[in-house]
Structure formats: structure tokens, C-alpha cells
Structure 1
Amino acid sequence: MKSFSELHVPGDPFILPCAWDVASAQLFAEAGHPAVGTTSLGVAAAIGAADEDRETLIATADLAVELRRALPGLPLTCDFEDGYGDGPEFVVEIVRENFAIADGPGGLLVDGINIQDSRHGQMHEPAVLAAKVTAIKEAFPALFVNARIDTFWLGQDSLGEVLERIDAYVDAGADGIFVPGSLDLATIETITSRRRVPVNVLASPRYSKSDLAEAGVARISTGSLLYRAAMSGALSSLQVLADDRPAQAENVLSYRAFTELDRVSVRSRPGGR
């Protein structure tokens, strides 16, 4: 099995499905995906919290424990919001206190984290995330740190700023760059041509995996898409009943599909905190 870092090949991207619980992660792994991430929106929704509000740390760490137990050999990365803190030293302690494990990859539950440069819809100065990235990499050299640039995500159409942030975060030690948003292929190609590390984008309603591969992308994240698709499907199924129609079970996973997953007792697996 390839390491998490080795999966990142510019021009030959892998799809990173983002899970919100153990069952979703197991199903994604059974479907053949070589790594799994987490979605902060899905985790936040499960506990009734707002996304990106620094309230998901414990839930994310607990989910990481269960995912590592259920899928011990699968590369795992998690959405780490903005690091759940302001200062780089504090962020390092958060990683150590919540994700350290003696027999995990690099001494941690996870192989990677995704850490962003905005909070509450406001961009931080590049130096803020750069300092966090440097501190994390110095403390955990084996951890794949994906630096997320939220300029386009927040509706700020400034490619020049994105390129400047790429340089700042790569200089700080980032292993990968994530630029979410509705990017056209020309913009993506400009970003990947700047690359000194692999570039990650969101799954696109406009472009296929092949399109993004030709643009030089190394990783395609589903973000919250799969969680939102699952909830949308649930609402559609419920509306069918409300419309006085028989339940539609075609193309829906069977009850047995989930009970078979449950037979793998995640709490019996070694390697937890």
C-alpha cells in the first residue's frame, strides 16, 4: 500500500472521500479508495455545532480514534480547521494532546491534516498560517500538512494573492496546497504550474477527474459533498413518503450492508488512545 504522501501525483490525482462517521469511512474504503479524510461540516452537524467554529476538536479526535481502529492500514487525514487556536505553539500542543498515539504513523492517529488560513469568513495574514505550518512540521515531520488557501472560497477573486500565499506556505514547510472554490481550468493550471508541492482542489460540478488531471491536480477532495448528498437523498426519500407514495428503496444500500460493517467491532481493534 502506498503511503499517504505517495498518493499525491500531479497529473494523476486520487479522490479523497471525506467521511463523517465510521460506517461512511468503511464504505469508502470498501469501494477501493486508497485513503479517507474527514469533513468538518459533517462532524460539526453531528454534534449540533457550527462548522469552522473551533467546536469540533474533540469530535474530530474521537472520530480519528475510531477510524484508526476500524481501518488500521488505511491512510487517514482530517480537517483541522484553522488549527483550533491562534498561536503556533498552542496548535502544536493541540495536535500532540489529541492525536498522539504510540503505534500510529509518525506517532499520530492521522497521516495528514488540512489546516486553513481563514476563520469566520475572514482571511488571516499569510504569516499566521505559515507560523503554524512551520511549528507543526518541526514537531511532527512525518505528518502531511495540507495548507488550505481560502481566498477563492470566500469569494475574493485574487489569483495574485493565492500565488503569494502558496509561496509563503510552501516556504513554511507545507507538503501540499489546497485551493477550494469554483475554479476554472485556466486558474487551476496557473496554480499547478506554480507548484513546488502537490495541489489539491475540490471535486467539481464542471470538470471530471480527467479534466483536473490534465490541469496538473494531485488530489481531489470531496469536502462536504458526500455528506450533503447523503442528507439530500434522505430528504428526497422522506418527501416520497410525505407525498403518499411507497418508499423508494431502489439503489439504496441494504440493511445488511451496514450490519455487516458493524460486525467489525471498532472498539476491539488495537491502537486507540
Structure 2
Amino acid sequence: MALHTRDGGFVMPNAWDGLSALMLADAGFEAIATSSAALAATLGRSDGRHEVTCGEHLEHARLLGRLTGLPVNGDFEDGYGDTPEDVAATVEAAVESGLAGIGIEDTSGNPDQPIRDFDEAVNRIRSAVEAAKGRIVVTGRTDNFIQGRPDLDDTVRRLTAFAEAGADVLYAPYPPDLDALVAIVTAVAPTPVNVLISPADKVLTVAELQKAGVKRISVGPALYTHAMEAVEQATKALVAGDLTAATTGISFERISDLLARSTN
């Protein structure tokens, strides 16, 4: 929690495989996170539909931590379970796997009713906190804004209840604008708030987000999609017959150097 409470907070980028994690560690980041969306994509599956198992995500998170030696926050969707007891079991497994943090969403995996009812969502966070026993940082997250429910009042209500249930960090991806973000930060203070990149209307700088009171900044699958954009452009060049443009990139010597630095 020390990173969350110091002046300015910190940036916690999301890795999607061993090499990306090593790159982030080499760049000097103090903690990293998984991305459920990026992990699912690497496996050819969809995010938020329970298509990636808890065991797969735990193995992935352990790999990132083992290679880098950094604290790892697990982006564990809805906690991998239908009941609060299932969520507690996931948190216990995350602790046993050496994770430093875990995120629990109020999503359901059901596209017809993507957000769980208020009381159910709060009970799941409470169960996660009770299982954590202070051994792992629990982030309570509501996905209202990215699930077609642009209700700031309900978002604040949920986050406030998550904090009262004991969540260490609060998170609502993509509030509509900076005013909404500041309203969230103010309403739940002093509990730290994580932001996914920025509000929905404009990408801000790290300094601007910190000025707004944000304590943790994550990027979700953005680094992964950035890398995939490079792959797509190289693929187009290859189709066009341009081998030079298609094969320009990081050297394998650089990759080998990063792998040699792993703590594995």
C-alpha cells in the first residue's frame, strides 16, 4: 500500500507476457499488473465472459512476478466465482500465489445483465477483504461506465460502499470527464483511486491525473494493443512485399539481454 499513499502515487502498467513484463521492469516501474483483456486476447478468447480460468490467470500472474521480482496486481475480472465464497477462495489463491494485489469487478459475465446488483457487488468485495486479511491489496471496481450505465451517482455509491466494506483501492474505468473523476476522488477520500489511462473524453498527462488526486494509473490492454498495431502494420507491409518494413523491430540480442536479467 505504500505506493498508493505516498505523494503523487504511481503508474502501474499492465504486462501481457514475460517479455513485456521484463521490459517494464527494466524501464524502472515499481509494480506491474496483469490485464484480463490482454491475457484473454493472447489465448484467442474474449474478456469478461469467464473464458479464461482462474488457474490460467494465476499461472500468468506468477510468471510475471517470478521473472521480474516486482509486485504484481491481478486483474481478476469478477473474482472468478458466482458467490462471495468463491471470490474469497480466489483471493486466498492469489495470496498463496504471491500476488501483491487483486482487483474484483462488479461485472457478472452475463451480457444481458452485465453489472451485478448493488448488495451482491458489495457482499463480494466484503468477502474478498475478509479473505485478504491485509495480506494483499484489494481493489473494488465498478464497470458502470464501460457497461452502458453512465450513472455517476450509482458509481460513487458503489465505490463508497466498497470502501466501507474494506477495499484498499477503488476503481471505475473511464468516467466521462475530469469533473466526474474529481467527484469520485473527492467522494471516496481518503481511499486511493485507480484510473485507467484517463477520463473518457480526453487523455491527460500523469501530472494532470495526479493533480486531480489520482493515486494509481493503469493502462489495461493499451500497451498490448499498441504492440498489436505494430504487428498489423508489419503484416500489411509483408503482404505488399516490403520485407524491410515487415521485419524491422527490437533486436533478438535485446530480447536475450532482457531474458538474462530475469529473476526466474
Q: TM exceeds 0.5?
A: yes
Structure 2 stretches lacking a partner, 5+ long: none
**Residue 69 (structure 1) aligns with:** 66
What amino acid is the match of 1:179? Answer: A
**Residue 27 (structure 2) aligns with:** 31
Retained in 1: the 8 A contact 2:156–2:188? Answer: no
Instruction: Tell whether 2:233 aligns with 1:236.
Output: yes
Q: Deviations over 1:220-263 (max 9, x none)?
A: 11001111111111101111222233423798321111122333
Check 1:262–1:36 CA distance in 2 against 1; reply closer, same or farther (3 A cut): same
- Return the alpha-carbon distance in structure 1 between the equivalents of residues 176 and 209 of structure 2: 11
Give the deviation of 1:44 after TM superposition: 0.9
- Return the alpha-carbon distance in structure 2 between the equivalents of residues 152 and 241 of structure 1: 39
Instruction: Tell whether 2:13 aligns with 1:17.
Output: yes
- Return the alpha-carbon distance in structure 2 between the equivalents of residues 250 and 190 of structure 1: 47
**Residue 99 (structure 1) aligns with:** 94
Instruction: Tell whether 2:127 aligns with 1:132.
Output: no
Give the deviation of 1:100 after TM superposition: 4.4
Instruction: Tell whether 2:215 aligns with 1:218.
Output: yes
Retained in 1: the 8 A contact 2:95–2:136? Answer: no
Paired residue for 1:254, among 251, 260, 264? 251
- Return the alpha-carbon distance in structure 2 between the equivalents of residues 13 and 63 of structure 1: 26
- Return the alpha-carbon distance in structure 2 between the equivalents of residues 124 and 11 of structure 1: 34
Paired residue for 1:263, among 249, 260, 264? 260
Give the deviation of 1:161 after TM superposition: 0.6
Deviates more, 1:251-260 or 1:178-187: 251-260
Q: Deviations over 1:69-107 (max 9, x none)?
A: 2123x11101110011111112212333x4343xxxxxx
**Residue 115 (structure 1) aligns with:** 104
Retained in 2: the 8 A contact 1:13–1:209? Answer: no
- Return the alpha-carbon distance in structure 1 between the equivalents of residues 222 and 106 of structure 2: 21
State how many pairs are aligned.
Answer: 255
Check 1:30–1:54 CA distance in 2 against 1; reply closer, same or farther (3 A cut): same
Structure 1 stretches lacking a partner, 5+ long: 102-107
What amino acid is the match of 1:110? Answer: L
Give the ranges of 4+ consecutive aligned residues of structure 1 lying more than 6 Å apart after TM superposition: none
What amino acid is the match of 1:194? Answer: A
Question: Sequence identity, in percent?
Answer: 32
Retained in 1: the 8 A contact 2:16–2:34? Answer: yes
| Aligned residue runs from structure 1 range 31-70, under 5 A | 31-56=27-52, 57-70=54-67
- Return the alpha-carbon distance in structure 2 between the equivalents of residues 39 and 66 of structure 1: 14
**Residue 189 (structure 1) aligns with:** 182
Secondary structure (helix, strand or coil) at the match of 1:220 reads strand
Paired residue for 2:194, among 192, 200, 203? 200
Identify the structure with bigger relative contact order (alpha carbons < 8 Å, sequence gap 6+).
1
Secondary structure (helix, strand or coil) at the match of 1:187 reads helix
Give the deviation of 1:55 after TM superposition: 2.7
Instruction: Tell whether 2:76 aligns with 1:80.
Output: yes
Retained in 2: the 8 A contact 1:11–1:217? Answer: no
What amino acid is the match of 2:141? Answer: R
**Residue 153 (structure 1) aligns with:** 146
Q: Deviations over 1:21-78 (max 9, x none)?
A: 1111111111111100001111112222221122322221111221222123x11101
Deviates more, 1:78-87 or 1:176-185: 176-185
Paired residue for 2:162, among 152, 157, 169? 169
- Return the alpha-carbon distance in structure 1 between the equivalents of residues 118 and 135 of structure 2: 23
> What is the RMSD of the two structures over their aligned residues, measured on CA atoms?
2.1
